[in-house]
């Protein structure tokens, strides 16, 4: 998943395209690398030229460890350099219990993660690289004349709208699955690690997702463009700035707790000075439940406030001086 995330970020930055051809190196040779023995593979051979689009599907759908190496070499020049990128993103995403030593996730000394961190990587895939994430819902792909199925069996379960994410298995780690499903505006992510069988990881994931949809709900406490608060606007052609959000806010909370949800805001600066642009971020909205902040959203200006005329600004300057002196 982190390999996919790094690739997705590199494509998002325009460093390469899905149509680009990757020349497979010796270290990505499926049958010539003892590290790959018994693992999931695309069966790449040195010298092959394979489109990026095929390699990322080999990674995301088939868990192709040889494809991971081929893409790591292409993106970063070497596996070690790619692993450094992976661990940089570990820090950037605030993962507390994860460290990578390989580009493919096969067992290695010093490599570890947790169910929570894996779920957070899944969340980052969905949020930050949606084009990359959209591949995970594909049920099959064909490479070198061989049709291969997505290893995530929940994609075929009609009782849930599952669209990802990733399976994994090694002898030490067991059978693992990070899954995600949607229901209306709600999206849930489950993480099952250390399962005994591939069917077991699917059944446990289904239990978690079903439980989540039953006992949680997604609410819309603030709509885009609707005033949430107003603040004095100084030196502009309007006395007050209308503040809110530029996108509908959706929060997933325990079912029936909407009445207990509280929202407050903090400005980035103590005063708002014109000119103020529409959708300019001027603060943060904090959403709390049971005294804990569960989410945050940018607080933005809903209507543009141009700079006022000379005499209006003089009056505001005098008012602001009195405000500073006497509160």
The pLDDT score that the predictor gives to residue 74 is 98
* 242-273: pLDDT as tens digits: 999 999 999 999 999 999 999 999 999 999 99
Alpha carbon of residue 306 to chain centroid: 36
Is pLDDT at 231 greater than 90 in this prediction?
Answer: yes
Percent of the chain with pLDDT over 70: 100
Top-level class of domain 2-217: alpha beta
Strand partners, 222: 249
* 7-49: pLDDT as tens digits: 999 999 999 999 999 999 999 998 888 889 889 999 999 999 9
In the chain, where the domains are located: 2-217, 223-326
List residues forming the annotated binding site.
Answer: 166
Classified as helix, coil or strand, 216 is strand
Any residues with CB less than 8 A from the CB of 198 and at least 6 apart, and which?
151, 153, 167, 169, 175
Cα–Cα distance for residue pair 136/8, rounded to 1 Å = 12
In 29-82, beta strands by DSSP E: 49-51
Is pLDDT at 313 greater than 90 in this prediction?
Answer: no
For residues 111-134, average pLDDT = 98
Q: How confident is the model at residue 303 (pLDDT cuts 50, 70, 90)?
A: very high
* 175-203: pLDDT as tens digits: 999 999 999 999 999 999 999 999 999 99
The pLDDT score that the predictor gives to residue 106 is 94
* 217-226: pLDDT as tens digits: 999 999 999 9
The pLDDT score that the predictor gives to residue 310 is 78
The pLDDT score that the predictor gives to residue 323 is 75
Classified as helix, coil or strand, 263 is strand
Q: What is the dihedral of CA 115, 119, 124, 130, to 10 degrees?
A: 130
The pLDDT score that the predictor gives to residue 275 is 97
Name the DSSP class of 109. T
The pLDDT score that the predictor gives to residue 285 is 99
Kindly indicate whether the domain formed by 223-326 is annotated with CATH number 2.60.410.10: yes
Q: 95: burial class by Cβ within 10 Å (0-12, 13-18, 19+)?
A: buried
The pLDDT score that the predictor gives to residue 215 is 99
The pLDDT score that the predictor gives to residue 317 is 77
The pLDDT score that the predictor gives to residue 45 is 95
* 94-122: pLDDT as tens digits: 999 999 999 999 999 999 999 999 999 99
Q: Angle between the 65-76 and 52-60 helix axes, to the nearest 10 degrees?
A: 130
For residues 85-92, average pLDDT = 99
What would the DSSP string read from start to end of 183-212? ETTEEEEEEEEEESSHHHHHHHHHHHHHHH
Q: How confident is the model at residue 327 (pLDDT cuts 50, 70, 90)?
A: low
The pLDDT score that the predictor gives to residue 38 is 84
List residues forming the annotated binding site for substrate.
Answer: 166
Nearest to 176 by CA among 155, 209, 198: 198
Is pLDDT at 325 greater than 90 in this prediction?
Answer: no
Whole-prediction pTM? 0.89
In the chain, beta strands by DSSP E: 21-23, 49-51, 140-143, 146-149, 162-170, 174-183, 186-195, 216-222, 229-234, 240-244, 249-254, 262-267, 272-273, 281-289, 292-301
């Amino acid at each position: 998943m982190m390999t996919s995330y790094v690739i997705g970020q590199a494509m998002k930055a325009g460093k390469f395209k899905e149509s680009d051809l990757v020349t497979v190196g010796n270290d990505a040779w499926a049958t010539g690398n003892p590290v790959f023995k018994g693992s999931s593979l695309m069966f790449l051979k040195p010298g092959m030229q394979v489109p990026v689009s095929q390699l990322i599907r080999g990674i995301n759908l088939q868990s192709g460890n040889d494809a991971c190496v081929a893409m790591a070499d292409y993106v970063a020049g070497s596996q070690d350099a790619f692993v450094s990128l992976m661990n940089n993103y570990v820090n950037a995403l605030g993962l507390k219990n994860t460290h990578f030593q390989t580009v493919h996730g096969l067992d290695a000394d010093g490599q570890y993660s947790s169910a929570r961190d894996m779920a957070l990587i899944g969340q980052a895939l969905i949020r930050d690289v949606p084009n990359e994430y959209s591949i995970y819902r594909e049920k099959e792909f064909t490479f070198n004349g061989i049709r291969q199925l997505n290893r995530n069996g929940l994609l075929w379960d009609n009782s849930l709208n599952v669209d990802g994410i990733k399976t994994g298995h090694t002898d030490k780690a067991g059978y693992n699955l990070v899954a995600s499903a949607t229901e209306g505006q709600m999206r849930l992510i489950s993480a099952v690690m250390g399962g005994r069988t591939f069917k077991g990881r699917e059944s446990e994931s289904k239990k978690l997702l079903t439980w989540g949809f039953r006992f949680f709900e997604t609410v819309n406490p603030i709509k885009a463009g609707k005033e949430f608060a107003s603040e004095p606007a100084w030196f502009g052609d309007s006395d007050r700035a209308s503040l809110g959000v530029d996108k509908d806010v959706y929060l997933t909370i325990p079912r029936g707790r909407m009445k207990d949800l509280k929202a407050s805001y903090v400005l980035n600066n103590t005063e708002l000075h014109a000119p103020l642009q529409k959708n300019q971020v001027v603060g943060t909205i904090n959403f709390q439940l049971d005294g804990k902040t569960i989410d945050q959203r940018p607080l933005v200006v809903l209507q543009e406030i141009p700079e006022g005329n000379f005499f209006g600004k003089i009056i505001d300057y005098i008012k602001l001086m009195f405000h500073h002196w006497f509160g």
